[in-house]
Amino acid sequence: MKFNKLFLILASIALFALIACESDNSDEITYTDPVATAIPITSDDTDVEPEIEEPLSKVDDIVDIDPEPTLEPVATAIPIASDELDPSSEIKEALSKVENIIDPDNISWPRNITVAGNEIVIEERPDNVLTISLGHDEILFGISDDSQIVGTTIFAQEEGSNIKNKSYGLPTITTDPESIITLDPDIVFADPYASVELIDTLTDLGILVIQTPLNNDISGRKNDVWFMAYITGNLDQAQTLIEDIDNKINVLSDITENNNVKKKVLTLSWWDSYWTAGTGSTEDSIINLAGAINIASENGIESNTTIDKEKLISMNPEIILITQSVAWGGQDFYDQLFLDTSLSSIEAIKNNNVFLVNPNWWGTLSYWNIMGAKQLIEILLPDPELDDFGGF
């Protein structure tokens, strides 16, 4: 009996020892270190060049250069244009085309200009500015407003004026010096036809008078804008205006390049004789901008001058534009052209192609002339799609 109990105890101990050993062997198998598995490379992969080498080899075919290898990649600098570094460079380039500006790179104060051979120093941006010329008025209102403009010519506020709404309510000036002096201007702009006595009086009182002619052609018109903007300190506004001018010119150019507008055009008015406009006139630049032919220029006529009836008949225009306002007899002149039977052979009269045009667009000395070119294109073409052209 005692022997059986002892045998059972020894058997139990042996069983427990055997189980413990198996448990230890199981742990060693479970917790072995991980082994990385290699990814096989197929034979196709070994034969194919890296993707980047294909475009590089094509570049090498075009540019036969063997660059020397470097230990590290070297960045290639991309040059930046100067106008990207300096936003004012475009303005300075435009100013460089204006002869009267001494140093176009100087857009700070003071600024130096020349007028009629005399050097003038503008010490600072003027607070009060006015003009005694309608053309200068129109330019000034394109780059400034009544916070700086203290008065206008009476013509600026007349019915039909291009700037009537902009100038409305401002004091008007006349040739009487007192009408100008009371407005206390720092600078007065004038054209070459201004009264010498008026200019002398203002100058004697210490008022700076800048007397300059205004140009007839588009590039000259833009230079007029830049010059006045330089003097008045409104270069940013001038840049905006010039962009608008250029956009409008591009619109007109696109139309004239894609349509037949090569009609023989003649401007005409009556002041005790027939008046027309030839080479070098404002009207000539407008007709050219519209892509038409100024028949007066083709016949050797220069500037604004008179012609006789025989010359009018011999030029035989296809289009006649009456640049005379209705208030100054434009409608009466229109009617007379059709009543005069001796003119009935003229193409424009025979085909009823005589038109009254806006004299404020055709006679002014400013960028508003572009509106005259638009008006002529609308006469020459049935549907030029200029509804969104806008004004200034």
What does pLDDT average to in each consecutive run of 10 residues of the chain (392 residues)?
46 47 43 43 42 41 48 47 57 97 98 97 98 97 98 96 97 96 98 95 97 94 98 98 98 95 98 97 97 98 98 99 97 98 98 98 96 98 91 94
Confidence (pLDDT) at 26: 41
Q: b vs e for 330-362, b when ≥16 Cβ sit within 10 Å of the residue's Cβ? A: beebbeebeeeeebeebebbeeebbbebbbbbb
Confidence (pLDDT) at 63: 42
Please check whether residues 125 and 178 belong to one and the same domain: yes
Query: What span, in angstroms and rounded, lies between the C-alpha atoms of 214 and 152?
Result: 17
Confidence (pLDDT) at 215: 94
Decide if 182 contacts 203 (C-beta within 8 A): no
Please check whether residues 200 and 317 belong to one and the same domain: no
Please check whether residues 265 and 242 belong to one and the same domain: no
Decide if 215 contacts 98 (C-beta within 8 A): no
What angle in degrees, to the nearest 10, is found between the helix axes of 134-143 and 235-257? Answer: 110
Please check whether residues 218 and 127 belong to one and the same domain: yes
122 falls within a domain: yes
Give the chain's domain count: 2
26 falls within a domain: no
Q: Looking at 218, 246, 274, which one is the last position of a domain?
A: 246
Confidence (pLDDT) at 136: 98
227 falls within a domain: yes
Please check whether residues 222 and 288 belong to one and the same domain: no
Decide if 222 contacts 248 (C-beta within 8 A): no
- Could you tell me which residues are beta bridge partners of residue 322? 268, 356
Confidence (pLDDT) at 27: 43
Confidence (pLDDT) at 387: 87
Please check whether residues 304 and 374 belong to one and the same domain: yes
Confidence (pLDDT) at 88: 85
Please check whether residues 110 and 236 belong to one and the same domain: yes
Task: From 187, 232, 191, 188, select the one nearest 212 (Cα to Cα).
Answer: 191
CATH code of the domain containing 318: 3.40.50.1980
Decide if 355 contacts 362 (C-beta within 8 A): no
Q: Looking at 189, 211, 246, which one is the last position of a domain?
A: 246
Query: What span, in angstroms and rounded, lies between the C-alpha atoms of 84 and 286?
Result: 35
Please check whether residues 371 and 284 belong to one and the same domain: yes
Q: Which domain holds residue 304?
A: 259-380
Please check whether residues 196 and 298 belong to one and the same domain: no
Confidence (pLDDT) at 66: 53
Please check whether residues 222 and 265 belong to one and the same domain: no
Please check whether residues 153 and 103 belong to one and the same domain: yes
327 falls within a domain: yes
Confidence (pLDDT) at 58: 39
